[in-house]
């Protein structure tokens, strides 16, 4: 049926009539790894026609991003970014004007809230009789209840800032999840609805992969926000604006801290389910995350050993920024500390804010490592990484050179002893 709809569209292609629902349903039914050759051929034809199809640019851009994501395995471009459908989400980027930093939080709140609301809606729908979407290895009700709770913990701060927290009046986790998801999803624009719906193309039919993708997308949204905010910090330090620098450092710490419940949500993923669909994700690994590496390299210049390792070789555009001499927060702090332009109290505030951010990021890394050990054991990672040994090594990398984080070091030591 999907091939029929595509052939019909190809005879009279219009941007408003592309059969998204049919294509997406087919991918969900079989998994991206198992899409048949005819479907891929028809989608390739559709992409070839794109330059000739008139229409509003946001809709053309959305269709182009969707087709690239759907065809990534055939194209040989499949990686972490295409696996999680990141180009469809249109989150902020490090190249956005720094003046946009105050508005990046609002944009990321909307995207993040919609991602979490969607996964809560997915879990709710799967409990209904006759639900057919990603039916393999569905979790037990107790596990789903935990997902509701952790998802709501991550969603509540966003609802607060979006003036939607008042909608949460129920007592049961399931009903709270329903209230939250309904309130967020009804507030979407048509473009937002379309991009969120199209941004999940699992490689297999395992139920848990849907949540896995949404959590990864949520983390990427957070790190996309940090890239903009850290650039604002660097600019503020260059302009000797202590208040603005501290503000955006604190905002960055808050954003990263608010993402912590996502790890708890991800921890409800069934190990057997993860290891099943992971067989088909080879070539896509979080080591390829541009946003994470940009955040890391904005904090300080990576040591040459790390810069020339798989960590940065897997993100060549970010590595090039480093090689081109990207100015870092560490360098900006060193300059302002020796300039004599800021008094001791102001310098102390900057150091405290930097230390707090470093502490939060190191906690994030350590939590990531512990969850990976639970899911992977000693298995190698996807995307040609060494898996948990790699994460174990990099979690100790200092965030800054000019500011230490003794509290985070003490916490890691206590957990390892």
pLDDT for residue 382: 47
**Does residue 137 carry a pLDDT above 80?**
yes
Q: What is the pLDDT of residues 99-119, one digit of tens each?
A: 989 999 999 999 999 999 999
pLDDT above 90 as % of the chain: 86
Region 315-343 average pLDDT: 97
- Where residue 417 falls among pLDDT bands split at 50, 70, 90? very low
Residue 323's nearest CA partner among 345, 341, 301 is: 301
**Does residue 381 carry a pLDDT above 80?**
no
**Sequence spans of domains, the chain:** 2-77, 98-416
**Does residue 14 carry a pLDDT above 50?**
yes
**Does residue 412 carry a pLDDT above 90?**
no
Residue 202's nearest CA partner among 69, 57, 340 is: 69
Region 338-365 average pLDDT: 96
- Distance between CA atoms of residues 362 and 260, nearest Å: 12
pLDDT for residue 183: 97
The CATH number of the domain covering residues in 98-416 = 1.20.58.480
Q: What is the pLDDT of residues 230-283, one digit of tens each?
A: 999 999 999 999 999 999 999 999 999 999 999 999 999 999 999 999 999 999
Residue 375's nearest CA partner among 387, 360, 362 is: 387
Three-state secondary-structure class, residue 388: helix
- Distance between CA atoms of residues 228 and 95, nearest Å: 8
**Does residue 393 carry a pLDDT above 90?**
no
Which residues lie closer than 8 Å to 12 by C-beta, 6 or more apart? Answer: none
Mean pLDDT of the chain: 92
Q: What is the pLDDT of residues 219-228, one digit of tens each?
A: 999 999 999 9
């Amino acid at each position: 049926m999907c091939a029929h709809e595509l052939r019909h569209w190809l005879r009279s292609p219009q941007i408003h009539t592309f059969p998204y629902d049919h294509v997406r349903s087919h991918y969900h039914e079989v998994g991206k790894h198992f899409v048949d050759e005819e479907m891929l051929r028809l989608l390739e034809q559709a992409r070839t026609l794109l330059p000739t199809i008139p229409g509003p640019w946001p809709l053309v851009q959305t269709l182009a991003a969707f087709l690239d994501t759907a065809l990534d395995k055939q194209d040989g471009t499949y990686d972490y970014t295409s696996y999680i459908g990141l180009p469809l989400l249109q989150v902020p980027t490090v190249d956005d004007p720094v003046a946009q930093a105050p508005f990046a939080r609002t944009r990321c709140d909307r995207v993040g809230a919609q991602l979490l609301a969607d996964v809560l809606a997915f879990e709710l729908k799967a409990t209904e009789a006759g639900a057919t979407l990603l039916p393999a290895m569905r979790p037990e009700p107790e596990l789903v209840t935990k997902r509701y709770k952790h998802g709501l913990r991550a969603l509540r701060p966003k609802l607060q800032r979006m003036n939607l927290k008042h909608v949460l009046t129920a007592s049961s986790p399931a009903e709270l999840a329903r209230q939250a998801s309904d309130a967020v999803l009804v507030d979407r624009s048509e473009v937002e609805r379309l991009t969120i719906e199209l941004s999940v193309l699992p490689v297999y039919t395992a139920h848990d992969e849907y949540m896995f993708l949404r959590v990864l997308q949520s983390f990427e949204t957070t790190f996309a926000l940090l890239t903009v905010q850290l650039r604002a910090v660097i600019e503020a330090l260059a302009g000797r604006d202590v208040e603005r620098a501290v503000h955006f450092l604190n905002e960055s710490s808050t954003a990263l801290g608010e993402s912590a419940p996502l790890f708890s949500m991800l921890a409800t993923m069934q190990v057997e389910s993860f290891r099943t669909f992971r067989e088909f994700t080879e070539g896509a690994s979080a080591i390829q995350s541009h946003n994470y590496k940009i955040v890391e390299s904005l904090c300080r210049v990576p040591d040459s050993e790390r810069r020339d390792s798989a960590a940065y070789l897997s993100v060549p555009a970010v590595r090039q920024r480093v090689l081109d001499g990207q100015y870092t927060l560490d360098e900006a702090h060193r300059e302002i500390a020796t300039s004599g332009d800021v008094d001791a109290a102001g310098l102390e505030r900057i150091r405290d804010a930097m230390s707090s951010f470093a502490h939060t990021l190191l906690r994030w890394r350590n939590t990531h490592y512990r969850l990976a050990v639970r899911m992977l054991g000693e298995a190698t990672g996807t995307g040609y990484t060494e898996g948990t040994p790699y994460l174990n090594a990099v979690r100790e990398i200092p965030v800054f050179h000019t500011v230490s984080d003794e509290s985070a070091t003490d916490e890691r030591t206590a957990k390892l002893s």
